[in-house]
Amino acid sequence: MSLEDAETFAVSLGWQKFRGEQIWRWVHAHGVRDVEQMTNLNKDTRAELAEKATIGSLTIAEQQVSTDGTRKLRLLTRDGQSIESVLIPDGEKTTQCISSQIGCAVNCQFCATAKLGLIRNLDAGEIVDQVYLARKLLEEVEPGRRISNIVYMGMGEPLHNYDNLIKSLQILCNDKGAKLAQRRVTVSTSGLVPKLEKLGLETVRPNLAVSLNAANDETRDEIMPINRKWNIGKLMAALKAYPLEQRRRITFEYVLLAGVNDSLRDAAQLAKLLRGVRCKVNLIPWNPHPEALYQRPSDAAITGFQNECKRLGLPTYLRTPRGDDIDAACGQLANRAKTADGSSAPLVPLRIRRERPGLPAVD
C-alpha cells in the first residue's frame, strides 16, 4: 500500500484517516512486521488490524556471504517462488541490488536471468520488502551499517513492470517511510523506449542506467534481441530527450564479451555514439554462467578498451565483479523458482570453476 492506500484502508474500516499514516509509518519507517509492536494503537485496533491485513510479503530462505563481504539473499514469496537480492558493501556505503521480476522476458543472450523466461512480475510490496528485510538483517549482523543506495539491477526488467516500479519508488523515497534519497536510487533498463519516455514524466526521479552493451545495431541485435524493436537510434533519441536532473548523468552499462564487442573499434564507436550525452560508462566484464557461449575478455583487452574510451573523452569505469564466488555478480542471478507445492525445482547449475582475474578496483 502507498501512504494514500493506507489512509483509504483506515477510513474503510471506520477509523480516522491519521490511523492509516500511523500504521504505514510503523511498516515503512520502522520496519515493524508485527501488529503487536504498533504501540500507539489500542488493543482493539491492533486486533482488528491483525485480522484484516498482513504485513510483509517475503521471508529470507537463505543467505550466502561472499569472501568480499557481498551477501546474496534468497527470498521466498507468499506463493512459494524464490527471488534474489544482493547487498554489496563498498567502504562506508552499502548498495542493495533488488529484483523487479521473477525471471525476465527480454532474453539478452549473455544473461543468466534470461534463461528463466518471465515467471511473473513482483508487486510493489515484494519490491520494497527486499529492502526492509535487508535493512533488518543488517541491523542484526552489522549494526551501524545502513543501506545507502538501491539499484534495480537484480532479476528482471523494471520497465516491463512499470506500475509496480513507480509505486515501489514512491514508497521507498517517501519522507515518512524509508526516506531513501532519489539520487541514491538507480533504475536499470535494457532500453524500452516508450516506457523510458513515460518515466521521464514521473515526479519521482531516480537515476537512470541503460544497458547498452554494443554501439552498433548489428552487434546489439545479436546480443539483445530487444534492439530489433527499439534500435540504438531510437534509444539514443529517447535518452537525449530525457529530462535529466541538474548535475546528474545517465549511466551506460556495457558488458564486455570477448570477440563480440570488446575491440578498440567498438570503443571508438561507443565514444562517438555517446559524444555530447551527459553520461558515464560502467564496463562490466562478462560474468560467466553455464548455458552461455561467451567469454570474458582478457585483462589486457579490458584495459585497452577502457583506455581507448578515456582517450576519446568518455568517462569510463570498470566494475569489479562483486560476489561472483556465490553467483551474486551482474547477470548471475538465476535461481529456479520453488514449485507451487513447496518442493524445490532444480537450481540452474551456476557454479563453475574459473580463474579469478583479479581486476583492479576502479570507480
Active-site residue, from 84, 126, 253, 308: 84
Near ligand SF4 by CB under 6 A, which window of 108-116, 134-142, 162-170, 264-272? 108-116
Site for ligand SF4 in 120-159 (CB under 6 A): 156-157
Residue with grid cell 528482471, as numbered in its chain: 156
Task: Establish whether 84 is a catalytic residue.
Answer: yes
Active-site residue, from 97, 279, 309, 330: 330
Work out whether 214 is an interface residue with ligand SF4 (CB under 6 A). no
Among 211, 227, 251, 261, binds ligand SF4 (CB under 6 A): 211
Work out whether 348 is an interface residue with ligand SF4 (CB under 6 A). no
Q: Which is nearer to ligand SF4, 32 or 104 (CB)?
A: 104
Task: Establish whether 308 is a catalytic residue.
Answer: no
The option from ligand SAH, ligand SF4, none interacting with 213 (CB < 5 to 8 A, set by class) reads ligand SAH
Nearest-approach distance from CB 187 to ligand SF4, in angstroms: 12
Nearest-approach distance from CB 108 to ligand SAH, in angstroms: 6
Catalytic residues: 84, 330
Residues that bind ligand SF4 (CB under 6 A): 104, 106-108, 111, 113-114, 156-157, 190, 211
